[in-house]
Structure 1
Amino acid sequence: MVKSYRHSLLLPLAALTIGWSHSGSAGGLMVWEIGTPTLGTAGAGWAAMPEDASTAYTNPAGTVWRDNTELMAAGQLLYGHLEFNDDGASNVPGNDGGNAIEWFPGGGFFAAGRFTDRIGWGFAMAGNFGGVLDYDGDWKGRRFVTETSLIGMSLLPSLSWKASDCLSIGLGLNVMGAYYKYESRPRAGLAGGDARLKYDDRDIGYGGNLGVIYKPTAATTLGFSYTSQVDWEFRDDLRLDGFGPLFTRLVERLDGARTGFDMNAPQTLTISLQQHLTGSTTMYANVNWQEWSEFGLIGFEIDNPNQTSATINREYDDSWHGALGLRHQYRTGALAGWALSAGIAYDSSIEDLGSRTADVVVDKQWRLGLGGQKELCPGLRLDLGYTLVWMGDVPIDQQGAPPFSPRLQGSYDDYSLNFFGASLQFEL
């Protein structure tokens, strides 16, 4: 959907060589894993767990259900496996790119409490959007990307109101900062060799979170959470170097040109259930929708005398998620005092083979979560969790524009993400 289109050489170079993003999770680039107790249920129960301070992030309506002020500090480490395997049709010489994810830290801080019996408050600081890919500089896909980052971090102050003994409503402000970086190695000219293209910027966007908690019985908690779209406008000077004489005029136009990308974090809807099956066993469930089709529409503009601009359609699909988990409290035996949890989840993919690119590698995902919870002493609780995200073999066939028409064809075999997390909750 082109708004204006001038100088046909400018737009294809920028549109086909500048990308964005990450290893991806939750069907797209938004992960369920932030180091909190939901690691142990594969995200199940996300919006229906008002029993700790992390509800300030997952559902602001839950904060008014806290009897005391609670603080939670959570940390996690991600280790991924993302290595390209060439099927023989790639036409740029090089290696397989190495493991493009490896270790990446995450986590957050959460606080929740009440002003009165009817008014609660919350504050959360966490990031569950984006990530980093870092390929070897001389890999076969370097014409498309060598390094890319899109990292979102949210600050979420919120208020909640208990409308009745079984219903609460919460509203939060999402102040979401984002950092975006992209590098690639386009072909330098007719003689071959690598040039360099680089771009990076930061921006802050704003959105809202709406939550509802409904407890029809003492054993049942239903949660509804909506997060609005957050828009970013990245603006930075495009840096080009190492191009041969064939591109002299093009580089003169683009090098140092103010270049903008308009992106967004998509809106989401989550419905969750927490159901006490017995006095010791609790079941959790989720259904979720995320609007990645809007995220795939990227506004692009080069601020030069020609005013080249467009909306680039990455042809992404909205994603759907379902999750189911259990937690069991042990009261006797060797595990007395521990609550152990497990969960399984499925996320549909936002892209297929026709829309998959080396800067955003995602597919349908299965999640398996395991966790343990123990009260160390009155007012101090420890949670440990692990989630495996499995995508298996993910094919790719990305082709670039003439005159050189680079191609990356093959698959990312045994693609997986491993999240290791822990949190401590203090009650004041």
Structure 2
Amino acid sequence: MRLTPIRCVSSTCLGALLSVLGLSAGNAWAGGILIYEAGQEGNGLANAGAAALATDPSVLMSNPAGITQLAGTQISANAQVILGDLSFSRDSNNQFDGNEGGNALQWLPGASFFISHQLDERSAVGFGTYGNFGLALDYDDDWAGRYFTQEAAVIGVSFQPTIAHRFTDQLSVGVGPRIVYGYYRTEVAINNNLLGLLDRPDGQLEYKDTDVGTGVNLGVLYTVDERTQVGLAYTSKVKLEFKDSPDVRNVSNPIINAALRRLDVDTLELDMTIPQTVLLSVAHQLDPQWKLLGSLGWQDWSDFGQIGVEVDADAVGVDRTVDRQYKDTWHASLGAQYQATPKWRWNMGLGYDSSAVDDEDRTVDNPMGETWRLATGINYQVEKGLDLHMAYTLVWLGDMDDEQTKARSGTTLSGTYRNSALHILGGGATWRF
């Protein structure tokens, strides 16, 4: 997801408002961290084989063509929680006062629901609702980076009807129109301390809104032989437009107040885009117990480099920076399923995602980097028509340096996020009729 430069709404250019207020509008951990996990059994595979493995209706999220492989009517209901460990530590180059912000990424619950129905031997329909993007940051209000961000949240829920058809015994094609409900919120402190000569309490800016965007998921599934399947899936970009009035409170800096009076702003509009992706997956049945899985993926982040504004005001004027230098990201994963008994299946996977930003371009409102995924999970067949599953994924980001400088004041925020990680726990059930 990205935030474009601010557009002019009403009679004024709203970018000037953000320049004066010092708003840094980030996208809360969207960038190079695509959330593949949505509570389904595939959580335990680190996305390995996601577009080629059709064991339950959740496959429509990764590859709509996969539901042609599912017999009868199947329902999958899942829940998960994302626990974070993201703590900023200042270093000797830091020039802002305040604390270190605490753990900025606490926890985020999620749920998903999928259903598929076989129309005949070749056609199937399905529906899924799931959240596979968006996290949230919540720093202490008086932390050192409060003039860059205090809170930022992006929550997205997708609704996807799906239809798929098997054109030959080997080739299936599926399409899933996608409706995304998005929620965005950001909060940032406003520096009332004019030229560093006075000691006034900070002001506050809060902005939040919701929107609905549309896109499409397309997929092809090809059966090479009775042991090997290859899947290729494409998801289009989805554009969300947030448009609301910012809530500005307790501003006593005369420069900011004068600018607000001049601008007479009614509405602030931010555009956010979920980028297009491509995923290629392979699933190979090695023997009756072992199935090997792999995936390669691409996410189109380079088109969305200008994702926000980071600004700064002084007695002379204002300055604004919008280009975050985003670049395309790549995904690779390997995994395996071990059918220990007719009832027990063990999943395992290892995945890697490159970073959408270089180290020198990292920001505290979106402190992302390259990620490693280590995942495992189990599936238990309670009876012929009911499976239960649980999974755990460690998303490891490690140490991430961050250094940001206000263009006019020259004040620098500097430090490191040490041993950064996400822990994703999920589970659910699949019923087959």
TM-score norm. by structure 2 comes to 0.90
Distance 1:200 1:406, change over 3 A: farther
Amino acid of the residue matched to residue 161 of structure 1?
A: H
Contact kept in structure 2, 1:299 and 1:312, CA below 8 Å: yes
> What does 1:113-128 align with in structure 2 at a 5 Å threshold?
113-128=117-132
Q: Which of 377, 402, 426 is equivalent to 1:421?
A: 426
Contact kept in structure 1, 2:62 and 2:233, CA below 8 Å: yes
Distance 1:214 1:154, change over 3 A: same
Distance 1:251 1:70, change over 3 A: same
Q: Which stretch has the larger CA shift, 351-360 or 226-235?
A: 351-360
Residue number in structure 2 paired with 1:66 = 70
Amino acid of the residue matched to residue 354 of structure 1?
A: E
> What does 1:67-216 align with in structure 2 at a 5 Å threshold?
67-190=71-194, 191-192=198-199, 193-216=201-224
Residue number in structure 2 paired with 1:326 = 336
Contact kept in structure 2, 1:144 and 1:186, CA below 8 Å: no
Residue number in structure 2 paired with 1:249 = 258
Cα distance, 1:89 vs structure 2: 1.9
Residue number in structure 1 paired with 2:304 = 295
How many residues are aligned here? 412
| C-alpha separation in 2, matches of 1:183 and 1:255 | 21
Cα distance, 1:21 vs structure 2: 2.3
Residue number in structure 1 paired with 2:58 = 54
| C-alpha separation in 1, matches of 2:80 and 2:15 | 45
SS in 2 for 1:164: coil
Distance 1:59 1:35, change over 3 A: same
1:224 aligns with 2:248: no
Amino acid of the residue matched to residue 80 of structure 1?
A: G
| C-alpha separation in 1, matches of 2:21 and 2:41 | 41
Q: Which of 223, 229, 242 is equivalent to 1:234?
A: 242
Residue number in structure 1 paired with 2:312 = none
> What does 1:395-414 align with in structure 2 at a 5 Å threshold?
395-402=401-408, 404-414=409-419
What is the Cα-based RMSD across aligned positions, in Å? 2.3
1:260 aligns with 2:269: yes
Q: Deviations over 1:377-404 (max 9, x none)?
A: 11000111000010100000112232x4
> What does 1:10-21 align with in structure 2 at a 5 Å threshold?
10=16, 13=19, 17-21=23-27
Amino acid of the residue matched to residue 422 of structure 2?
A: L
Cα distance, 1:15 vs structure 2: 8.8
Amino acid of the residue matched to residue 271 of structure 2?
A: D
Residue number in structure 1 paired with 2:395 = 389
| C-alpha separation in 2, matches of 1:178 and 1:4 | 19
Q: Deviations over 1:371-426 (max 9, x none)?
A: 11110111000111000010100000112232x44421011000000000102000
Q: Which stretch has the larger CA shift, 179-188 or 239-248?
A: 239-248
| C-alpha separation in 2, matches of 1:213 and 1:198 | 46
Identity %, equivalent residues: 35
| C-alpha separation in 1, matches of 2:348 and 2:78 | 19
| C-alpha separation in 1, matches of 2:6 and 2:379 | 54
Amino acid of the residue matched to residue 139 of structure 1?
A: W
Contact kept in structure 2, 1:207 and 1:228, CA below 8 Å: yes
> What does 1:335-346 align with in structure 2 at a 5 Å threshold?
337-346=343-352
| C-alpha separation in 2, matches of 1:47 and 1:15 | 45
| C-alpha separation in 1, matches of 2:306 and 2:25 | 12
Q: Which of 366, 372, 385 is equivalent to 1:366?
A: 372
Contact kept in structure 1, 2:21 and 2:256, CA below 8 Å: no
Cα distance, 1:4 vs structure 2: 8.9
Contact kept in structure 1, 2:22 and 2:147, CA below 8 Å: no
Cα distance, 1:9 vs structure 2: 8.9
> What does 1:261-280 align with in structure 2 at a 5 Å threshold?
261-280=270-289
Distance 1:116 1:4, change over 3 A: closer
Contact kept in structure 1, 2:32 and 2:370, CA below 8 Å: no
1:347 aligns with 2:357: no
Contact kept in structure 2, 1:41 and 1:341, CA below 8 Å: yes
Q: Deviations over 1:267-303 (max 9, x none)?
A: 0000001110111100110000001122333489xxx
Contact kept in structure 1, 2:162 and 2:175, CA below 8 Å: yes
Contact kept in structure 1, 2:7 and 2:269, CA below 8 Å: no
1:315 aligns with 2:325: yes
Cα distance, 1:12 vs structure 2: 6.0
Unaligned runs of 5+ in 2: 310-319
Amino acid of the residue matched to residue 423 of structure 1?
A: G
| C-alpha separation in 1, matches of 2:131 and 2:6 | 33
Q: Which stretch has the larger CA shift, 82-91 or 265-274?
A: 82-91
1:23 aligns with 2:29: yes
Q: Deviations over 1:305-334 (max 9, x none)?
A: xxxxx9943210110000000111113xxx
Unaligned runs of 5+ in 1: 301-309
